[in-house]
Structure 1
């Protein structure tokens, strides 16, 4: 009888549907999943500056009713919190509420110094622009901690060990620390609080700024070539654990899980591009926690292997166990830390274990419904790592817990409570959509500490609100103008603060009065000294019916003033340097290993950077033909009018050159004259390594400065192979005492 009742209940529940005519929203749009059956979700979208009331979502319940079914959905104006209190000054205008575009103006009384933002504007994400405005009389041991908009503060003493506490205006949710203490170092403990509407979210740029700045509090920049500003190297003896924790519960859903997984893969790629080699642990959790990668795994330090494990892990791995047991996930972290500590103890190295910087990235909607309160497990982890247990040494730098709210419908207080609280850092983020997480990870690359790490680019940015400038996408490109008896336009690449790499054929050999103009990101850099390869001689093969030879087509330009590296001016990577060894993951290997890693295949995917007369720089994808595939390049070159009388085509197309072009296996975009001297590049993960210099081609594909479509099957483009001229490049740079360390052969 009991079985019959259960079967009947299941059958009825499957048959129940909610009325789809009841879910419309005034002033906005919506989508419905699963056709209105039990468990279906409605997601609302409103125009910018508005939010869906009463919630972003509704769910179809077993009784055939939508959640909040008595309330009509409507798009309402976004409102920013209003000031509750402001000490030492005044503000205007005073209004009952503030909507998008409204601006507050602050002013301090005589004797008080204004800190933070004088003017703040209400933004579309329900947050005020700028920083908390503070009027400080500078009489405290610690500076005035201020009162965030929407909050009230108790405590007016700013002496050492004094405490202040905050409460948010009714209806607002607090992110950050409710209580802060004035410390001996004159900083305040915890994180500055903020009071937020339930629909407030963080933009990708805000998240990127907050996350990457606090993440880089624990890294240092150490140049492999001996300077102190080249590569990101982890402090604490280079020890770091990164735990990525993915909420795979029913409330998060498959789509949001997949977005979070893709964002995690992107994060690992980003960390890898900075030459950081942490130990990874990846945990997926629903009703139970499943370690996807454990600290004990042999490949937990191999970024590529970790990514492969994560790619192979699917949402359905938890089967029907779709509860939300966040505590189980954190307990798994705790167990792995215990195992790791035991390994260090057995090696008589417990001291090093205590120096490991542990980073936890928790991606969740914050709605635990089983396993107990995850905040209690977080306390256990903190005690185990001796973080925050001793007032004399809080050890907060050894644990960073970042919590990312997945989707619009999250439990804000819980994600705030789980995250770390550190002064001048942000560890709790609520993104408008999960796919924004990928955008934020893309933006992480723009950090001042790694500006001169070679081969970095903002090319992968997906920020829809701001078009990435060409100089940010290709920051290693230099534009060169050579004036003399005629004007020549070429490109080059930044090798170091004082050197540009380009092609020798761009310059007039017999013109002593030519003027060379180098432009990097719109700024002109005068040339101190050009260096041409001693074996470059365009008339050396006239006796072989080659009117112009291009062997050793390479030139270096030494600049009079230093290029200050920035997001729009960075060096390119070239083979056989220690920096590129890190990119290729072959540190300590000889130069020959670089050629094998980059050019071992017969068809190698590469790019060059093109520029039309009216268009910005853009990437063109080509295929380098090597081995047996290079034979077609030789045959095509024979048909070039300038080479028709050449007896042996390999006198013209020597081993000095790499080849692209033709229509097999795909049509390669053509190179034009203005591209000369520019780089042929092989992307390696998210870094760029130059292997060639644009030299010459068999067909001119430009008409009046405009590139025409490649249709000629015998069109080929040739590039000076950098491997063939590396000894000379090394010699010039070392004699000029330029900071670039080359590897032995």
Structure 2
């Protein structure tokens, strides 16, 4: 027998369970431990496993013990509606099951506002808000700002009226989105008199919620970076009207430029560097020897008929495509002729429009009939990248497409829709001229042949 340690066991038992061929009788306050068959002393007044779950305003709770499998139950008084879990169970992890309950009025009318004002001070800790928010929020995020501020007397902010306004707005959303409304989670942040009277600094708590919101990228969420441009350096051979005499209204060969910013970019969880091909840095990322050439990198990254690649949408969602190469590329670029208005088709070939400087994606002819995502207006200039050995290597720059299919959310390619991207392996001289130059304010890249 051992005394003085509970070894993580949380309740005393007066029996033992058979182990192998033996069963030692256990006296009260002892528990048999398997497989050593030692008896471990348990204090009779062991501390509660779960914290006190509290009693929300306007409710009653039954259950006073907070050990494993103990239950607490809630009900609301005065006709209030229970929101959350009516019963919660203490788990071994020290957390309660379910959702913290709260009591609320029915849809508000003026004669019920007074009742709600009796319970207008309801608090949740930042940890509880963060936990529920991070688990329940969907990938689609809708933001609404309610400005219902009015001068009040010293009796405090009229929270009841604020919730009334929120309820009205939610009713509108419910009518518009009947099919998906049940999947929507609402996070409500109220700013009252600016005085933090409970729970620590209000600024810190709002900052935590702001971080959680910004970690989600929904369909209507765009992150505009506040960086000012110092200079733009386009490729010297870029000429949008270069083939107008052939009846090609717009020509995008060499559609690439380098943008220099006034300030350095600070890397973070949301802003990361990407590898540029034909550099020693890319060779190291790919695990290639120092003797590797630019051709070695290209053969590794763009070698099969279909190469999986990705780009980021304006909403910072990853879109997946397949680059059509070798024999598959010819069919891909031919679709450019069928969708572009050209005066004399007999004189123009697909290669006159889509030169060897372009990579081709899109369509429904990927491996196993895969349908590609498609780029939309405003996404030109973004990186087309592939993932190798858990590193991202940029192989192209989004340039142009032949069809606008972006009238719907999450657009997909159809049979004839194609996107074209400048192949970075074809413009390395241009990149080296600027990015490999020494004596600049930025660290140069080491380009290879």
Deviations 1:58-100 (A, max 9, x none): 9984459899999999xxxxxxxxxxxxxxxxxxxxxx96866
SS in structure 2 at match of 1:605: strand
**What residue is the counterpart of 1:621 in the other structure?**
320
The structure-2 alpha-carbon separation of the partners of 1:640 and 1:59, relative to structure 1 and needing over 3 Å to count, comes to: farther
The structure-2 alpha-carbon separation of the partners of 1:522 and 1:587, relative to structure 1 and needing over 3 Å to count, comes to: farther
| Residues in 2 aligned to 1:634 and 1:571: alpha-carbon distance in whole angstroms | 31
SS in structure 1 at match of 2:394: strand
1:658 aligns to 2:359 (yes or no): yes
Structure 2 contact 432–447 (Cα < 8 Å) conserved:
no
> Match for 1:559 among 249, 261, 264?
261
> Match for 1:700 among 382, 401, 404?
404
| Residues in 1 aligned to 2:342 and 2:400: alpha-carbon distance in whole angstroms | 13
Shift of 1:550: 0.7
**What residue is the counterpart of 1:639 in the other structure?**
338
**What residue is the counterpart of 2:160 in the other structure?**
none
**What residue is the counterpart of 2:349 in the other structure?**
648
The structure-2 alpha-carbon separation of the partners of 1:586 and 1:545, relative to structure 1 and needing over 3 Å to count, comes to: same
Structure 2 contact 435–445 (Cα < 8 Å) conserved:
no
| Residues in 1 aligned to 2:412 and 2:27: alpha-carbon distance in whole angstroms | 59
Report the number of matched residues. Answer: 259
1:686 aligns to 2:409 (yes or no): no
1:739 aligns to 2:443 (yes or no): yes
Deviations 1:153-207 (A, max 9, x none): xxxxxxxxxxxxxxxxxxxxxxxxxxxxxxxxxxxxxxxxxxxxxx889xxxxxx
| Residues in 2 aligned to 1:591 and 1:60: alpha-carbon distance in whole angstroms | 69
| Residues in 1 aligned to 2:27 and 2:322: alpha-carbon distance in whole angstroms | 59
**What residue is the counterpart of 2:377 in the other structure?**
673
Deviations 1:388-433 (A, max 9, x none): xxxxxxxxxxxxxxxxxxxxxxxxxxxxxxxxxxxxxxxxxxxxxx
Which of structures 1 and 2 has the bigger CA Rg? 2
Structure 2 contact 232–260 (Cα < 8 Å) conserved:
yes
Shift of 1:101: 6.0
Shift of 1:692: 0.5
Structure 1 contact 637–643 (Cα < 8 Å) conserved:
no
Cα RMSD for the two superposed structures: 3.8
SS in structure 1 at match of 2:341: helix
TM-score between the two structures when normalised by the length of structure 1? 0.31
For 1:369-388, list aligned pairs within 5 A. Answer: none
| Residues in 2 aligned to 1:630 and 1:581: alpha-carbon distance in whole angstroms | 26
Shift of 1:584: 1.0
Structure 2 contact 371–412 (Cα < 8 Å) conserved:
no
Deviations 1:5-50 (A, max 9, x none): xxxxxxxxxxxxxxxxxxxxxxxxxxxxxxxxxxxxxxxxxxxxx9
For 1:106-121, list aligned pairs within 5 A. Answer: none
For 1:547-586, list aligned pairs within 5 A. Answer: 547-586=249-288
Shift of 1:547: 0.6
| Residues in 1 aligned to 2:415 and 2:431: alpha-carbon distance in whole angstroms | 35
> Match for 1:469 among 215, 237, 255?
215
SS in structure 1 at match of 2:227: strand
> Match for 2:312 among 598, 609, 630?
609
| Residues in 1 aligned to 2:293 and 2:275: alpha-carbon distance in whole angstroms | 16
The structure-2 alpha-carbon separation of the partners of 1:709 and 1:575, relative to structure 1 and needing over 3 Å to count, comes to: closer
Where structure 1 has 5 or more consecutive residues not aligned to the other structure, the ranges are 1-49, 74-95, 103-198, 202-465, 472-478, 480-520
**What residue is the counterpart of 1:532 in the other structure?**
234
Shift of 1:663: 0.8
Shift of 1:470: 6.0
The structure-2 alpha-carbon separation of the partners of 1:604 and 1:709, relative to structure 1 and needing over 3 Å to count, comes to: closer
Structure 1 contact 60–67 (Cα < 8 Å) conserved:
no
Deviations 1:698-738 (A, max 9, x none): 111111x744343x211111101011111111112244453
